[in-house]
């Protein structure tokens, strides 16, 4: 897997890395909104 990634052109590696970071950030952002909302609903 890692060797396949290393043999990719630089722009592909860069866009893959960018997509991965956007995915992680989006996931964290969604969780930071969802979890408090769910907790508030449960408390109410």
Whole-prediction pTM = 0.57
* Backbone phi, psi, residue 18, to 5°: -65, -45
- Answer for the pair 40, 29: CB distance below 8 angstroms, yes or no: no
Specify whether the CB–CB gap between 16 and 5 falls below 8 A: yes
Please write the tens of the pLDDT for every residue from 1-44: 566 666 768 888 888 899 999 999 999 999 999 998 988 888 87
The tally of domains found in the chain comes to 1
- Which residue range(s) make up the domain with 13? 2-43
- 8 φ, ψ to 5°? -70, 155
Q: Which two tokens stand for residue 30?
A: 């969604």
């Amino acid at each position: 897997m890692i060797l396949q990634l290393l043999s990719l052109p630089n722009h592909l590696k860069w866009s893959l890395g960018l997509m991965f970071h956007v995915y992680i950030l989006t996931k964290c952002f969604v969780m930071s909104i969802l979890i408090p909302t769910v907790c508030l609903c449960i408390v109410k």
